[in-house]
With several copies, the nearest count.
Chain A
Amino acid sequence: MEIKQIKNIIEAALLAAGEPVTVKRLLSLFVEQELTHNDIAKAIELLSEDFQGRGIELVEVANGFRLQTKTILQPWISKLWEEKPKKYTRALLETIALIAYRQPVTRGEIEDVRGVAVSSYIIRTLMDREWIRVLGYRDVPGKPAMFGTTKEFLDYFNMKSLQDLPTLAEIKDIETIMPELDLGPKSDENEKAFQNQFKNNNEEE
Chain B
Amino acid sequence: MSSKHKFKNKDTVQTEMPFAIVEGKPYTQMPTDLYIPPEALEVILEAFEGPLDLLLYLIRRQNLNILDIPITEITNQYIEYINLLDELDFELAAEYLVMAAMLAEIKSRMLLPKPASEEGEEDDPRAELVRRLQEYERFKSAALDIDEMPREYRDYVVTSAYVDNKQSYIAPPEVDMRDIIMAFKEVLARADLKISHEIERETLSVRDKMTHLLDTLRDKKFFTFESLFDPSEGKQGIVVTFLAVLELLKSQVLDIVQNETYGQIYIKSLAIEDEVDDNAQPA
**Would A and B touch once assembled, by the CB under 8 A criterion?**
yes
In chain A, positions 13-66 with a C-beta closer than 8 Å to chain B are: 15-19, 56, 66
Most central of B162, B169, B170, B173 by chain A CB within 10 Å: B162
Alpha-carbon separation in the docked complex, A135 to B3 (Å)? 30
Contact, CB under 8 Å: A114 / B180: no
A-B contact pairs, 20 of them (CB 8 A): A16-B161, A67-B159, A94-B143, A98-B187, A101-B142, A113-B132, A114-B190, A115-B50, A116-B49, A137-B273, A138-B271, A139-B253, A139-B271, A156-B152, A163-B208, A166-B181, A172-B67, A180-B121, A181-B127, A182-B119
Chain B contact residues, CB within 8 Å of chain A: 1-3, 5-7, 49-53, 66-67, 95, 99, 117, 119, 121-124, 127, 130-132, 134-164, 166, 169-188, 190-191, 193, 196-201, 204-205, 207-208, 210-211, 214-215, 218, 251-253, 269-274, 276-277, 280-283
Contact, CB under 8 Å: B159 / A113: no
**Residues from chain A with Cβ under 8 Å of B186 in the complex:** 90, 94
Contact, CB under 8 Å: B162 / A69: yes
Cβ distance A2 to chain B, nearest Cβ, rounded Å: 22
A contacts with B, residue count (CB < 8 A): 91
Chain A 193-205: CB-based contact to B (< 8 A → 1; otherwise 0): 0100000011011
**Residues from chain A with Cβ under 8 Å of B181 in the complex:** 97, 166, 171, 174
Q: A15-B159, A77-B157, A164-B2 are in contact. List 13 more A-B contacts (CB 8 A).
A: A68-B159, A90-B186, A97-B142, A97-B183, A102-B207, A116-B49, A137-B274, A138-B271, A165-B204, A166-B149, A167-B201, A171-B138, A177-B67
Alpha-carbon separation in the docked complex, A164 to B171 (Å)? 27
Alpha-carbon separation in the docked complex, A156 to B153 (Å)? 10
Contact, CB under 8 Å: B252 / A138: yes
Alpha-carbon separation in the docked complex, A184 to B157 (Å)? 41
Given A56-B159, A113-B191, A166-B181: A158 touches B134 (CB 8 Å cut-off): no
Contact, CB under 8 Å: A136 / B272: yes
Contact, CB under 8 Å: A69 / B173: no
Most central of B6, B131, B196 by chain A CB within 10 Å: B131
**Residues from chain B with Cβ under 8 Å of A3 in the complex:** none
Which single residue of chain A is at the shortest CB-CB distance from B190? A115
- Could you tell me the dominant secondary structure of chain A's interface residues? mixed
Q: CB within 8 A of A143: which of B131, B163, B272?
A: B272
Contact, CB under 8 Å: B158 / A18: yes
Alpha-carbon separation in the docked complex, A169 to B123 (Å)? 26
Contact, CB under 8 Å: A127 / B280: yes
Contact, CB under 8 Å: B177 / A191: yes
Q: A1 contacts the other chain (Cβ, under 8 Å)?
A: no
Most central of B119, B179, B276 by chain A CB within 10 Å: B179
Contact, CB under 8 Å: B145 / A166: yes
Alpha-carbon separation in the docked complex, A130 to B172 (Å)? 11
Contact, CB under 8 Å: A16 / B184: no
Cβ distance B26 to chain A, nearest Cβ, rounded Å: 22
Contact, CB under 8 Å: B172 / A91: no
Given A114-B49, A162-B205, A191-B177: A71 touches B155 (CB 8 Å cut-off): yes
Contact, CB under 8 Å: A103 / B207: yes
Contact, CB under 8 Å: A12 / B161: yes
Given A104-B211, A167-B201: A66 touches B187 (CB 8 Å cut-off): no
Contact, CB under 8 Å: A135 / B211: yes
Contact, CB under 8 Å: B137 / A169: yes
